[in-house]
Structure 1
Amino acid sequence: MRKNAVHIENLSVYYGQTPALTNVCMDVDDGDFIGIMGPNGGGKSTLLKAILGLIPITKGNIQIYGQEYRKNEALIGYVPQFASMDKKFPTTCFEVVLSGCMKRGLHPFFRFSKNDKAVAFEKIERVGIEKLANKQIGELSGGEFQKMLIARALAVNPKLLLLDEPTASVDMRSKEQIYDLLEELNNDMTIMLVTHDLSAISSKVRTLACLNKSLVYHGEPEVNDNTVKKLYGCPVDLIAHGVPHRVLRRHEEENHIDKSNI
């Protein structure tokens, strides 16, 4: 029997009096690659932050490999949203990845060890940007910047990798490279990915979770029209660059679309 990487039970998170998540129950299997989708404000990023222990939980429980997060934080790598990083900060790609080796909390006179530096460069090589190690982060393209953030998250050798919109604001070629990289990383770790990129996740993820403050769906990476209506409030179809894979089933018959006058 496969063990859970993440067990979420009756999770509710409020910002003041405003509910961000309500009574979410979900198990993520060890080794899974789960895509998390939903509308803006639906609680996707909040879910990741709750798993990370970055925000207080109003109600419920989260366990990572059978224990509370604080006892397992070293097992989790996190890639935040692109917009949350300042590309003007004067530091190199290598220094950013090396920062992933720093333990949480204040450490007076802390210095990185030779092993820390070796680990950082190993992760840079793993994501394929070793030639950019000494580049200032402001000189990196969007795709290169995202690969750097993934390398930093890998510095802790995580069993669970959380990513929040890792392909936002990058070109199509970089998106393909990042999803190919994540598919390869999934051989060694569980991945939870927040994304709006429906066409890409349909061919990469193993399971799909749909959030709109509560859990609307969790299962195979294809959803029906009723699920989509609950999630977005209207039918949605998918056009995936001419490729005939789908995450959304056809809704033409249900809505009796007459194309004769189109």
Structure 2
Amino acid sequence: MPLQCKGAPRAARPALGEVHVWWAHRDEAGPHLPASLDDAERARLVRLRRAADRDRFLVGRALIRLAFGRYLGPSAEGLRISTAPRPGCSRGAKPWLPGAGGLEFSLSHSGAWIVLAVGAEGPLGVDIEERPTAPVSARLMRWALSPREREELGEQEGTASPPHGARDPVGTFLHFWVAKEAVLKATGEGLTVPFHRLTLTPPGLPLRIREWQGYPGAGEDYVLCRLETPRDCANGVVAVRRERGEGGSLAYSTVVLRTAAEASACVHR
């Protein structure tokens, strides 16, 4: 079944302080989707060997076209995703849509789900993750968590398990991992920056950046919002870069797309 969106806002762009978060399932992939790809996207699709990766790529690109078609109308048909360096972007490079009227986007996928975040305020990043089935190694914990985070969570150096001070070690790990990846997708740096350079608030407190080595004041620049996720998706976060001094919380609306079901839209604050 082609991607549909009967419950989505027809022409409403995200307002300042708001992010629209669109969800789709990889089951939406079908033989009709490759026709919408451009030449570069078709070349990338051919390089993907696993069927699940091809499905997620197809649905992700279709979701971008669907959302921006809703926001921009016929003018969205000529948009092409660019990976070229962005004017005025000094920290990293991230995919963007020249000519999108100031709209920003970020795409993530994990397991069967694909998510697209769209905003109009500044660079943004979104990340979702399935709950891992294997234990988290001590090496990965040291790469992902700052010394302050590990100390506060009671991790013992040299152990092969996540912080045992937490009731849900894997969930605690995802709390930090997903939020940090969302932030670094907003900057365009991604996994090139060791996650332990960022220190976030622990589970149970409002999510924010407390410290970022080499980036004074990062906590004032980025607003983080945890997302409500499908049952089989363990964690999701969207991060938006805002002008300092604006403050405030981030609202987001979600549009869930499912095969053989109408889209439904709801707003969470």
Q: TM-score, normalised by structure 2?
A: 0.34
Q: TM-score, normalised by structure 1?
A: 0.35
Larger radius of gyration: 1
